[in-house]
Structure 1
Amino acid sequence: MQKKYTNEILNLLRSIQNIDYITPDEIPQIDLYMDQVTTFMDEHLRSSKRFEEDKILTKTMINNYTKNNLLPPPVKKKYSSEHMLLLIYIYYLKNFLSINDIQSILNPLTEKFFGSEDGLSLSDIYRQIVELEQENINSQARDIIRKLNKSGEAFADVEDPEEKKLLTTFAFICMLSFDVWVKKSVIENLIDDTLGDKKKSK
């Protein structure tokens, strides 16, 4: 049973390594209406859904992002490639950060690079970020496998197979959760330090 469970996790990791992401070259270079934006995101990020009925992006979400100053308003009801890039960042960040924290991260980028015609563009930045993430995915998979193996070594004295699976699964979840918590804390500290510096400068 433990071997079957391990194989299930390894298959999951393989699917994560092959997960869909939107490459820089896939970003439409023409302005899109809202329906086209939601369709594009749903088609390209389908594999990241937990449940089939989940929505990647809705009109209500986009309107709320604009109201909360996460997203510049559209021009004549159309969204540019730069809007699309910001929506992709928001999609991933909202899974573990508050709206205020996402504002703190994205607003400086938007103010400096949205619509920029000189120097770096949001597209240049996105391309670099994608390259960094591609380089990082294999090390992330190796770290998860290491945690899987460590959790499998826990509760060695438990003989009942069902109890063993329950406890090792719990241990694995706790190890992954602690990892997420540590990284989230680092992100929040980085955000707070930046905001603190801004407040001091005022």
Structure 2
Amino acid sequence: MDKTTSIQSIINEFIQHIENQHPIAASELPNIDLYMDQVTTFMDEHLEQSKRYPEDKILTKTMINNYAKNHLLPPPNKKKYSKDHMLLLILIYYFKNILSINDIQKVLTPLNERYFKNEKGMDMSWLYEHIMNWEPAQSDRISSQIQKLSEDADNIFKDAPPEDQEYLQLISVISLLVYDVYQKKQLIEKLIDSYPFSSDGESGKKKK
């Protein structure tokens, strides 16, 4: 680690990043259908802050084709993707970092059936905005949790040799964060397993 960069300064910088980073609003999406190249360009530009390395790609043609192949994404209309497609792709982007393709399919199939191209008012934009409106409150919770976790990790190895303090603080922070994600991932999987999805991912509940 760079001597000029402390673990706490990285954490503080990331907390600031959380506070400054906001999900794409439905109103930011184009109201016209886009070709695949336009879709990947839009996603790459608007989710750039999520990249680990500058050369990383947020979305590629291969990914989109695989999502369609696995029935996560409805097929495009004459090779063009609608605003509803874009909203689904944003959700898939966040889900795929935690969930398997099979679990994403289970969760999103009922959503596709009920809200994709729904012209009765409760459409994909309605659903997406309702979820994302809670983002500021969730960001505040996450920031507070990370700060508390960092403080706890700083106290774990107070009796360690001075030359090992930085590394042991680092491994403590990483271990606690990993355990946090591990437990939450298990909860997500239990929630998915408890819901009466049918074998093709559609909710077992009858549609009205």
TM norm structure 1: 0.93
User: Shift in Å at residue 182 of structure 1?
Assistant: 1.1
- Structure 1 unaligned blocks of 5 or more: none
Give the aligned partner of residue 10 of structure 2. 8
Give the structure with the larger helix fraction: 1
Give the aligned partner of residue 183 of structure 2. 182
Q: Distance in 2 between matches of 1:114 and 1:26?
A: 18
Q: Distance in 2 between matches of 1:168 and 1:134?
A: 29
Give the aligned partner of residue 171 of structure 2. 170
Give the aligned partner of residue 23 of structure 2. 21
Instruction: Note the aligned Cα RMSD (angstroms).
Output: 1.9
User: Shift in Å at residue 198 of structure 1?
Assistant: 4.5
Match of 1:68 among 43, 67, 70: 70
Give the aligned partner of residue 141 of structure 2. 139
Alignment check: 8 A CA contact 1:20 1:45 kept: no
Alignment check: 8 A CA contact 1:24 1:123 kept: yes
Alpha-carbon displacement from aligned partner over 1:2-30 (angstroms, at most 9, x marks no partner): 99321221112111221252112101111
Work out the percentage of aligned pairs sharing the same amino acid.
48
Give the aligned partner of residue 121 of structure 1. 123
- Alignment-mate amino acid for residue 167 of structure 1: L
Alignment check: 8 A CA contact 1:37 1:84 kept: yes
- Alignment-mate amino acid for residue 178 of structure 1: Y
Q: Distance in 2 between matches of 1:79 and 1:2?
A: 46
Size of the alignment, in residue pairs? Answer: 199
Give the aligned partner of residue 107 of structure 1. 109
Higher RCO (CA < 8 A, seq sep 6+): 2
Q: Distance in 2 between matches of 1:145 and 1:67?
A: 41
- Structure 2 unaligned blocks of 5 or more: none
- Matched position secondary structure for 2:134: helix
Alignment check: 8 A CA contact 2:7 2:170 kept: no
User: Shift in Å at residue 119 of structure 1?
Assistant: 3.8
